[in-house]
Amino acid sequence: MSQPKLILSRSIPFKIPLRFFFTAPLFGVLAAIFILWQGPLAFTTRWSPGVVAVTHLMVLGYIVMVMLGALLQVVSVLTGARLPGIKRTGLVTYLSLTAGTLLLSAGLVNDAADLIRLAIVLLALSFILFCSVVIMGLLTAQARSDAAGRMWLALISLVLTVALGIWLATGYAWDNFTVDRTLTDIHLTWGLLGWISLLVMTVAYEVVPMFQLTPAYPKVLTRWLSMSIFFGLIAWSGGILLANAFIVLLGSLVLACGLFLFALTTLWLQKQRKKKQPNVTVWFWFCAMLCLIAAIGVWVSAQFYLPLKQAPSYALMLGVLMIAGFAISVINGMLYKIIPFLCWVHLSMKVTELGVSRRHIPNIKTFINNSHAHLQLLLHLLALLLIVVAILYPELLLIPAAVFFALSNILLCWNLFAVLQVYKKSETEIIANAMA
């Protein structure tokens, strides 16, 4: 694999990605409050407005929020591209994504067409701005890397997901406008398996060896896997649209095998870690890969056992394993690495700019309080376990599940704020030293 060289001097202002990163766990808390407010009975079938609303608080407000912030950062340092007007576009993208997500969820649950219309406009604006910045970055890249190629596939999946999402939302926003519900499955599959999974893979190939001190992913995997999954998605969607069961099966097999291979390889690499020091990110990724394997297991079982496929809990289980189990776990683990790393990068740039000794930059490991991070991991795992079992016993367990999920995200926010405190203190010291 060609290891990309990071062009750190092209890093965008720190506050741009930070806004996205700190807002995400707040959406987690909001999703939990929403569940408590609606009550367990609102979450027994995937088609209830409560489920669709809470799904988008999680996918748009949490997962997409972090992914957009991270991508704006990554594109600048990975490709060395200058991103023109990034301060303004970053802010408008952030504000319209936040407001659009809130309005979409509020509109869906209250059946308020006006709110959904406004949400469509804001979300379209947010994604158009974001995609223009990233596409411009990728096209004017100084350095080309395999990662940029894989990013294109994730980006195409995002465009398709959003376009289909907006189309589906118009069905709720205008009377006498009915949309084909088959498109819902195509929309969510491109979102979860295309945009989210392909981006997680792209990121994993670069950061799992770097942050978790594992060997690199096998070259054959990094070269072919994303492409195979992308074609699996095309085949699967084509099969659905043409009502051809054979093509659907073929596409599904490629998707299931590809994702299984990715999860298994990641677990295998984690087993070969060079230094086995406590590392909360390793555990979050371990949990994420187990949930991905469990989701594939549930899906495969349903293909052979029809009553499972027809049960209302089946789709909910797949959604929970993919969204809360896989994507949110990966994101929690990544935030504990990305934010200290960015703090370290910005402090490094500051000491160079001011001509101060590098000894004022704290060791990157000291940014995180390990015991607090492990406590948050524990809360996350408990919440996850409760959410999974709550699918079967919602009246009994959905409330405690939501409470633990909220607590986990509050502690995540607290832990990340503590990182910023270390950053601010060191920055003040560096500036004081430069003036002395």
* Binding interface with ligand HEM (CB under 6 A): 46, 51-52, 55-56, 59-60, 64, 104, 119-120, 123, 158, 161-162, 165-166, 168-169, 172, 181, 184, 187-188, 191-192, 195, 319
Q: How far is the CB of 118 from ligand HEM (least distance, A)?
A: 11
Which lies closer to ligand HEM via its Cβ, residue 104 or residue 335? 104
Which lies closer to ligand HEM via its Cβ, residue 44 or residue 370? 44
Q: How far is the CB of 269 from ligand HEM (least distance, A)?
A: 26
Which lies closer to ligand HEM via its Cβ, residue 104 or residue 233? 104
Which lies closer to ligand HEM via its Cβ, residue 178 or residue 357? 178
Which lies closer to ligand HEM via its Cβ, residue 170 or residue 369? 170
Which lies closer to ligand HEM via its Cβ, residue 51 or residue 74? 51
Q: How far is the CB of 208 from ligand HEM (least distance, A)?
A: 23
**Joined tokens for residue 424:** 């601010």
First to last CA, the chain: 46
Q: How far is the CB of 110 from ligand HEM (least distance, A)?
A: 14
Q: How far is the CB of 242 from ligand HEM (least distance, A)?
A: 20
Which lies closer to ligand HEM via its Cβ, residue 77 or residue 173? 173
Q: How far is the CB of 42 from ligand HEM (least distance, A)?
A: 12
Q: How far is the CB of 167 from ligand HEM (least distance, A)?
A: 8
* Residue 150 CA to its chain's centroid (Å): 16
User: Measured between alpha carbons, how far is 423 from 406 in angstroms, rounded to an integer?
Assistant: 26
Q: Which of 90, 98, 26 is nearest to 64 (CA)?
A: 98
